[in-house]
Structure 1
Amino acid sequence: MTTIRDVAKDAGVSAATVSRVVNGLLGYSEETRQRVEEAVLRLNYETDFMARGLKTRQTSVIGLLAPMVSDALASEVMRGVEEAAREHGYAVMLGRTGSQSVFIDGYLRTLRTYRAAGVILISAVITQEMRQLLGPNIPVISVAISDRSGPPSVSIDDERAAYDATRHLLSLGHQRIGLLAGDPTSIYVAHPRQRGYERAMSEAGRTPVVAHGTFFYDSGAPGLDDLLRQEPNLTAVFAVSDEMAAAVVNELQERGRRVPDDVSVLGFDNTSTSQHVHPPLSTVAQPLEDMGKTAVNKILRARDLGPRIMPHSIISRGSTSPPHQ
């Protein structure tokens, strides 16, 4: 059986360099990369995976990267991606990269080296740098992000969903509704959701009350503090992620306020988090699993890679009710 040392000897490099090339890391020249890949092919190294990819220009692998997203949301998308990939005989390589570009770049180089069939990004913008790292032959598509500027994507209409959510709270009789918005630098998720809320409030003749979080649980309590400083008599909070909404519910109860009797709370995403809090969260449902399946199918069909808008819905549970007088 061919080993990494055999490849290194044939290519005239160290085993460490072969490892770096195979895993898409930095620290070698283009000429070295070509020599290593030729040696991999010549010696039939890892025939079932790497060498087949060098011969056919594609392997049965789909990359799924989650740069900065909650585990609950990522797992919903991944469930759909894995199911659709498995149906077509593909495996999924998951990368939890955080926000650090060096880790994202490393995964992208690895996926390019292994000739992935495509790459799916969860709630992340496709950049020109990403396309350059992947090369021209590997399609990339984003999921759960409202980038309508042309890159391939599968999402809901975030602005419309937030508008409908705010209208739902207004229809229950709430007039003092605070928005716990997302990271203000998130122009493709936080911004459209805030626009939808503000449009609904404006149409109802109500004053918007907005605080910003990070989409994650830890920002829920500070965000609630900010909202209550602006409007102590809020009767409803709309948080643009289930994690922040769950934190708001817990924090309100810690302060002796009843949910929903004193303050209603509405989340966003309909992840497992929404049902792991008491009372269970009312929320905006994204069809995250179906979005993952759709992304896989679009990649494997290699056509119709433009934006695809999926339907959303409002799910009413125990965390919302008409305001109590």
Structure 2
Amino acid sequence: MATIREVAARAGVSAATVSRVVNGVPGFSEGTRERVKAAIDELGYEPDSLARGLKTSQSALLGVLAPAVSDALASQILSGVESAARESGHAVMLGRTGAGAELATDYLRTLRAYRPAGVVLISSAITPDMRRAAGSRIPLISVAIRKGSEFASIAIDDELAAYEGTKALLDAGHRRIGLLAGDESSVLVNKPRERGYRRAMAEAGATPLEERGNSLYESALPALERLWRRDPGLTAIFALSDEMGAAAVNEAQRRGLRVPDDLSVLGFDDTPTSRHVHPPLSTVAQPLVPMGELAVRVLLGEHGRNRILPHRLITRGTTGPVPAYSP
């Protein structure tokens, strides 16, 4: 049976154009539409995803499962997934799973009936139960989280990223650096980041000071209150998500502190949130959109199973040298 790529080659267009014509998406000339339809007829291409899946054991569908941990982070990864999926002629089905693995497992059982070409799990580690629920023929991949090499994953080195973020603050002269940590149950993401912070602080002979939120904006506010109560003279805050970093900037300014003159704030992820505060948030950046794109290529067999992508420190307007008056 003909593939979407063969149809695209015959019509002289991209696979994404074939997919859009098949699904009735406007924006093409009548000539392009007719060429695609003629190629479909000539090659006998079956555009119905489920019908094709029943014949080939795979459909032109990709599943994406995302917990409600950080909508900003998930949306960036999803943008990359959708871009690569369009290029390969696949449609995307999205499910929100919450923080636990049980709903993700239920979704995988449902998706199994659609015979997807693969499933991307955002910020969710693949468990043996998930693998069994999906069946042996459906490839799975975790993005922005990794758990050894047993299951496919794309992530950064979270511990190294947090270490280097903390080191940048230390190199600017800061020693009283508070950490806004994430959910304690996130042992594969937040725990490595906390280790990186503690390692850099220990090497500098500085005392770590940590309070915990859950990565969301609102959760940072009581954690910030606890940090300032413990050390009113903090000169820097390292937030392990951009949403918590934005909360730190806004709350500091509400208290009359100047950012970064009185207090430096560093976030994590480089989501759009980091650019929607004033001043714009310095952050440890994950390549979120490329991670989503690469996940699709791994699922479709174009790349290896496990990839650690580079992070980078983006300095914007919320970090600077330690205040001259700081003890």
- Identify the range of structure 1 (144-153 vs 99-108) with the bigger mean alpha-carbon deviation: 99-108
Give the Cα separation in 2 of the matches to 1:221 and 1:85. 38
- Secondary structure at 1:301 match in 2: coil
Distance 1:179 1:247 in 2: 13
1:142 maps to amino acid:
S
Tell me if the contact between 1:267 and 1:274 (Cα under 8 Å) persists in the aligned partners: yes
Distance, in Å, in 2 between the alignment partners of 1:182 and 1:149 is 24
**1:168-204: per-residue Cα shift (whole Å, max 9, x none)?**
0011111100111111111100000000000000000
Measured in 2, the distance between the counterparts of 1:198 and 1:320 equals 20
Residue 176, structure 1, aligned to residue 192, structure 2? no
- 1:102 is displaced (CA, Å) by 5.3
Q: Is the 2:108–2:133 Cα contact (8 Å) retained in structure 1? A: yes
1:88-111 Cα shifts (integer Å, max 9, x gaps): 111111112223555423421221
> What pairs up with 1:1-325 in 2 under 5 angstroms?
48-99=48-99, 101=101, 103-301=103-301, 304-305=304-305, 307-325=306-324
Q: For the residues of structure 1 that align with 2:100 and 2:47, how far apart are their CA atoms? A: 33
Q: Distance in 2 between matches of 1:116 and 1:89?
A: 13
* Post-superposition CA distance 1:118-140 (Å, at most 9, x none): 01011111011111110000010
The answer as to whether partners of 2:49 and 2:61 remain within 8 angstroms in 1 is: no
Supply the distance in 2 between the matched residues of 1:248 and 1:268 (Cα, whole angstroms). 13
Alpha-carbon displacement from aligned partner over 1:246-303 (angstroms, at most 9, x marks no partner): 1111111111111111111000000000000111000001000111111111110176
Cα separation, 2, equivalents of 1:323 and 1:47: 61
2: distance between equivalents of 1:51 and 1:144?
A: 33
Query: What letter matches 1:234 in structure 2?
Result: L
CA contact (8 A) 1:62 1:116 kept: yes
TM-score (norm 2): 0.82
Unaligned 5+ segments in structure 2 are 1-45
Query: How many percent of aligned residue pairs carry the same amino acid?
Result: 59
| Counterpart-to-counterpart distance in 1, 2:69 and 2:143 | 11
Equivalent pair of 1:181/1:239 in contact (CA under 8 Å): yes
- The runs of 5 or more residues in structure 1 that have no matched partner are 1-45
Q: Comparing 313-322 with 100-109, which one deviates more in the overlay?
A: 100-109
Distance, in Å, in 1 between the alignment partners of 2:60 and 2:47 is 13
Distance across 2 between alignment mates of 1:163 and 1:103: 33
Distance in 1 of aligned mates of 2:314 and 2:239? 14
TM-score calculated relative to the size of structure 1: 0.83
Paired letter, 1:122: I
How far apart are the structure 2 equivalents of 1:196 and 1:266? 14
Aligned partners of 2:297 and 2:303 also within 8 Å: no
Query: What whole-Å deviation, never above 9, does each CA across 1:285-323 have from its counterpart, x for those lacking one?
Result: 100011111111111017622x21000000001111112
> Would you say the 8 A contact 2:63–2:120 is kept in 1?
yes
How far apart, CA to CA, are the structure 2 residues paired with 1:71 and 1:197? 25
* CA–CA separation in structure 2 for the residues paired with 1:254 and 1:63: 42
Letter of the structure 2 residue corresponding to residue 104 of structure 1: A
Q: 1:217 and 1:299 mapped to 2: Cα distance?
A: 33
* Cα distance between partner residues in 1 of 2:58 and 2:149: 28
Q: 2-side partners of 1:101 and 1:148: how far apart?
A: 18
Deviation at 1:150, TM superposition (A): 2.5
- Which one-letter code corresponds to 2:226 in the other structure? D
CA distance in 1, matches of 2:102, 2:182: 24
> How many pairs does the alignment contain?
279
